[in-house]
Amino acid sequence: MPVSTIAEDAIRRLLADQIAAWNAGDAKAWCRDFTTDSGFVNILGMHFAGREANATRHAEMFATVFKGSRLDVREMQIRLLDEQAATADLVLDLSRYQCLPPGIQPSIGNDVLRTRMHYVLVYAQDHWQVVFSQNTAIVPLPPRA
């Protein structure tokens, strides 16, 4: 199997594991593949420096507004930049949430928030790791005047 296929499969597994961790409400597992010095920007534009800050924030969210929520992947594109660097872009649907953060509205009907999650990954210590990720809410456009 070509190196690119092996790498892409490994990244897909990492991202699938992360989605499964979200659906289980497991913040530690959600952040397991982030590097210790990684960065994460959430849908409100808040930056969390490091895996621990990211895990702490997600634990808070899983205990409150996103308790029992469900994350589903609609699209996934992976781009290998070289043998040790890649990007991944996902379109995600979030449902079953308790409420949404201030200023964020559902994207589909009254119960689904669609987001676009971007990842920068590196291959180090024999596995792929997330060094940076940003989640952006896809909000409905206002009606045309």
CATH number for the domain harbouring residue 104:
3.10.450.50
Residue 115, domain member (yes or no): yes
For residue 62, the model assigns a pLDDT of: 97
Within-domain flag for 105: yes
Is residue 108 one of the residues assigned to a domain? yes
How far is Cα 24 from Cα 120, in angstroms, rounded to an integer? Answer: 24
Domain count for the chain: 1
Cβ(11)–Cβ(86) below 8 Å:
yes
Instruction: Please provide the distance, in angstroms rounded to a whole number, between the alpha carbons at the two ends of the chain.
Output: 54
Bridge partners, 75 (sequence order): 91
Q: Enter the tokens of residue 104.
A: 């964020």
Tens-digit pLDDT profile for residues 38-48 = 999 999 999 99
Q: Is residue 112 part of a domain?
A: yes
Residues 38-89: tens digit of each pLDDT: 999 999 999 999 999 999 999 999 999 999 999 999 999 999 999 999 999 9
| 100-144 pLDDT tens trace | 988 898 998 889 999 999 999 999 999 999 999 999 999 877 778
The residue range of the domain holding 104 is: 3-137
